[in-house]
A and B are shown apart, each in its own frame.
Chain A
Amino acid sequence: MTDHPRVQDFATDFDHTDPQWVADPYPIWDHLRRECPVAHTDRYGGAWLPVRHDDVAEVAYDTEHFTSRTVVVSELRPGDDDLPAPIGVAPPITSDPPFHAMARRLLLPAFSPKPIAAFEPFTRALCKELLDATAGKDVIDAAVEYAQDIPLRVIVRMLGFPQADADVFRRFIRLILEDVDASAEQRQAQINEGELDAYLEARINEHLAEPQDDLTTFLLEAELDGNKLLPEHVEGTMVLLMVAGIDTTWSAIGASLWHLAQNPNDRKRLATEPELMDTAVEEFLRAYAPVTMARLVAKDFDFHGCPMKEGDWLLLPFPAANRDPEAFPDADQVKLDRVENRHAAFGLGIHRCLGSNLARMELRVALEEWMNRYPDFELADPAAVTWSAGQVRGPRNIPVRIL
């Protein structure tokens, strides 16, 4: 890890791995929204940060001036060895038009509402099993013992990988997403080790030898323009599902439980008015949206007075857009019955989260099963709650006392 100097001024020198941002980014965004509103930093080789809903939406819709070739800001800029746009390393999230639409269309049927509903019984049984394992305990870590295992094991199941590999997956995710303030050299060394590639290749070979009714076989048999996908496309998409489908949803489940642990009224309402669950899930997604995306500036241009240069990073904080009082009345209040909620937790435009139907199902089922088992609980030790650094924000430890 490099030791980034602490941020003094987020308008001119922001860093999304700064301890102040990691602990509580909302006041930072509120301040920038009023005073700035597009922040800049020279860190990471130069990056921009819009925080108003309209600005975030404008960038999300603008695929001409912004490329998705890399969507995680780090010290390591895309180099000559990386696949060029439009495919990118993890299609379709790292793809630009027109390739993007083809790569995405290929995956959409597997993630539309109807096929996702088929995974609900597995998810519900998994939640019950995890809760069973906590029986008799006074204090439970709702992140470690519950939230994190749900999306992890659902994705492992969708890909048709052994459930026993859940731990391997957990380590890969940490490497890709959470160590972003590692130096460029450290990061490259980690990637070069090739462990992840070797793991995926082994699973692919198993599926080639013996096709299964799962997403891995689906990808291996899929065709674009009459051709099977390139091996790097299949592997890249698997990496995408691991990275995008696991600690994101784990963060959303964790943040929702963290909120409920501190708000007895909301807890009581959700326990006694289960019909509130649908709006509650959307409100948790709005208020605690985990995912901040990123873009690279594709060509020099002026964005609302900001001289953006080709190759600059742009951090795209959907969680900040969701807290913009111009777009959401009482944006800082969690209202479980908020009926008008056009939140952007899953992004906007052509890169709308492919797995949003899956994530919503997992979050709803996880909350329903938790509330069934433990309708009353509180934070056991607020100081022990830790938050992930990087572009996926969620609580990594949530010790709760069962009441």
Chain B
Amino acid sequence: MIRVHVDPEKCQGHNRCYAIAPELFDVDDFGQAHERHDGIVPAGLEDKARRAVANCPEYAISLSISE
């Protein structure tokens, strides 16, 4: 299973993840991002998850793979 996680300490609200993968991320009223659905990446969205990670200027998003 693939999961994404936004580090709230590092996120500065660039909102790149939300623009790339609104299925996986949402933003609050202040533009701070957080992962949706406990960060679980449904099948078919793995590529979007990787793109969100690779486009965060603050390196705030991490991706983890578990059984």
User: Which chain A residues have a beta carbon within 8 Å of chain B's beta carbons?
Assistant: 105, 108-109, 111-114, 278, 282, 339-344, 346, 348-350, 352, 356-357, 360
Contact = CB atoms under 8 A, between A and B. Distances in A.
B57 A348 contact: yes
A342 B30 contact: no
Interface of B: 12-15, 18-20, 27-31, 51, 54-59
> 7 shortest A-B CB distances, which residue pairs?
A112-B31, A340-B54, A352-B12, A108-B30, A109-B29, A342-B57, A113-B15
A349 B11 CA distance: 8
Contacts of B13: 108, 112, 352
Contact of A113 (B20, B31, B55): B31
Nearest to A282: B55
A141 B43 CA distance: 48
Main secondary structure of the interface of B (DSSP, over half): loop
Nearest to B53: A340
A342 B54 contact: yes
B12 A342 contact: no
A339 B18 contact: no
Nearest to A344: B57
A282 B20 CA distance: 12
A346 B14 contact: yes
A219 B59 CA distance: 32
A348 B58 contact: yes
A113 B27 contact: yes
A137 B59 CA distance: 46
Contact of B15 (A340, A349, A356): A356
Contacts of B12: 348-350, 352
Contacts of A108: 13, 29-31
Nearest to A346: B14
Most buried by A among B13, B20, B51: B13
A287 B5 CA distance: 29
Given A113-B18, A352-B13, A352-B14, A342 B31 contact: no
B31 A357 contact: yes
Contacts of B56: 342
B31 A340 contact: no
Contact of B51 (A111, A339, A356): A339
A339 B54 contact: yes
A53 to B, nearest CB: 11
Contacts of A343: 57
A230 B32 CA distance: 27
B53 to A, nearest CB: 9
15 contacts: A112-B13, A112-B30, A282-B55, A339-B54, A341-B55, A342-B55, A342-B56, A343-B57, A344-B57, A346-B57, A348-B12, A348-B58, A349-B58, A352-B13, A356-B14
B33 to A, nearest CB: 10
Given A340-B54, A352-B14, 9 more contacts: A105-B30, A108-B30, A112-B28, A112-B29, A278-B20, A348-B12, A348-B57, A348-B58, A356-B15
Given A282-B55, A339-B54, A352-B13, A112 B27 contact: yes
Contacts of B15: 112-113, 356-357
